Structure 1
Amino acid sequence: MAKKKKIEPLTGEALLQKVKTLATLSKTQKAKACGYYAVTKGGVERVNLVQFLQALIEAEGIALDKPVAERGRDRRSARYRISVQANGNLLLGVAYTKQMALQPGDEFELVLGRKHIQLKQLDPVE
């Protein structure tokens, strides 16, 4: 029995074009034709329908997940809220400092409003 060579899964515009040509097939058949399947040790072909649908969504330019740059190390996204700690300090997390491209030593002026605190970044002293 000859081994069937697995094709590399299509992505992007190539995936969209291929799916358009396979309009009469089922989702499972389209996924397999586009390379979204795996062969088990027993020789059974398993279609990776979830990966196929995710690739289609990405090819259409729809971002379901936030970019990694907007997340902290623990993959939580910034809530844009902070709490006063027990020692009275306000701590800005890494997600905020990365998003603002802040460096150690950057200085800010605190502007106190009636119901808010605003941080104004000071120009670096050369």
Structure 2
Amino acid sequence: MLVGKELLDKARSLSNHPEDEIARGCGYVGPSGRVLRKSFYRALVQAKGYKLRSNGPGRPGNRSPRGRQAEFRTKVHGNGNLLIGHAYTKKLGLVPGQEFRIDVKKDSGAISLLPMEKKS
């Protein structure tokens, strides 16, 4: 991945191409072949001499050093499904295939998941 003056020169030479082609030409491509747009744009900004804040070594922008943090919130999706993410099932020690009975309390709007007894 080009940086600094080399990045600016290469980007300028490709300026009549689409943005993704410019990023590719400057080496901003991930292992899967996906264009790393955010990294490319950050490198361009830095090459122009602007200082970008960082939350620590190797952590650009506002990213937490621990990665994405789970929020205890969810919403009903357009298809009517309500998703409980991996972070919560992992926290509870739930495993694939485990079954639950859904208990709905209409008056309070509460939904409870009650583990089903394992059949021996």
Range of TM-score over shorter length: 0.3 to 0.5
Q: TM-score, with normalisation over the residues of structure 2?
A: 0.43
TM (norm. structure 1) is: 0.41
Decide which structure has the larger Cα Rg and report it: 1
